[in-house]
């Protein structure tokens, strides 16, 4: 006695399924909302050895916004450090830029009713020469990945473009492979029937 397999071959519709479009749109709306409200964490790549052995160049840290009052001695924080060009007497002439610095809190200080943090890199022999105001703290920093040299490539604009090109090429190749594979399955089913 032979059995027959009833197989229904779906019609080729083409395009992206509406459910996938809706899911991607919802994710984009949620991400935009979190970003605008400041709830979306930031990420930074460690570029120096000041936090070795805790953090090494190429490590990726997630910076989570927190209430500065909840930051304790021993916490690793990220903050904006403004770099200035100075004259012969050490006076600031021109701002060179702002960079994110990740160091450990070694002291909390209240000065004129305002909270400040003294920080120090784990690998630095002395504390940082500045106090970080609570308003300058971006959040607590926590290691989430160790990308090594690849992480350092991401800090360079040309490196980012290169990585994006590789990712886009990979997506195109993956999509093309999936399309060919699904087309082959449909043809096999049609030939079988």
**Does residue 11 lie within any of the structural domains?**
no
Q: Measure Cα distances from 189 to 9, 117, 176 in Å.
A: 7, 68, 20
Number of domains composing the chain: 2
Residue 1 has a pLDDT of: 47
* Band of pLDDT at residue 17, cut at 50, 70 and 90: low
127 and 160 assigned to the same domain = no
Task: Give mean pLDDT, residues 75-102.
Answer: 79
- The answer on pLDDT for 177 being more than 60 is yes
In a domain, residue 13? The reply is: no
Domain shared by 131 and 172, yes or no: no
Give residue 161's domain range: 18-33+156-192
Per-residue pLDDT for 175 more than 50? Answer: yes
Same domain as 69, residue 50: yes
118: pLDDT confidence band, cut at 50, 70 and 90?
A: very high
The answer to whether the CB of 70 falls within 8 A of the CB of 135 is: no
Q: What is the pTM of this model?
A: 0.60
Q: Are residues 141 and 162 in the same domain?
A: no
Mean pLDDT over the full length of the chain: 80
110 and 24 within one domain: no
pLDDT band for 162, please (50, 70, 90 cuts).
confident
Residue 5 forms part of a structural domain: no
Same structural domain, 175 and 97: no
Average of pLDDT values for 67-72?
96
Together in a domain, 104 and 183: no
Region 52-77: mean pLDDT is 93
Q: Are residues 70 and 24 in the same domain?
A: no
Tell me whether residue 69 is in a domain: yes
């Amino acid at each position: 006695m032979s059995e027959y397999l009833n197989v229904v071959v779906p019609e080729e519709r083409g395009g992206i399924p509406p459910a996938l479009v809706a899911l991607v749109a919802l994710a984009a709306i949620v991400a935009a909302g979190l970003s605008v409200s400041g709830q979306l964490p930031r990420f930074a790549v460690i570029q120096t050895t000041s936090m070795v052995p805790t953090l090494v160049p190429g490590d990726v840290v997630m910076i989570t916004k927190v209430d500065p009052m909840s930051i304790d001695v021993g916490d690793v924080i990220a903050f904006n450090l403004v770099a200035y060009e100075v004259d012969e007497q050490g006076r600031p002439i021109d701002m060179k830029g702002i960079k994110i610095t990740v160091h450990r809190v070694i002291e909390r200080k209240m000065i004129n009713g305002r909270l400040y943090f003294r920080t120090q890199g784990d690998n630095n022999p002395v504390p940082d020469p500045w106090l970080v105001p609570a308003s300058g703290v971006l959040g607590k920093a926590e290691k989430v990945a160790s990308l090594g040299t690849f992480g350092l490539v991401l800090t360079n604009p040309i490196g980012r473009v290169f990585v994006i090109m590789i990712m886009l090429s990979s997506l195109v190749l993956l999509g093309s492979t999936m399309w060919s594979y699904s087309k082959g399955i449909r043809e096999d089913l049609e030939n079988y029937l």
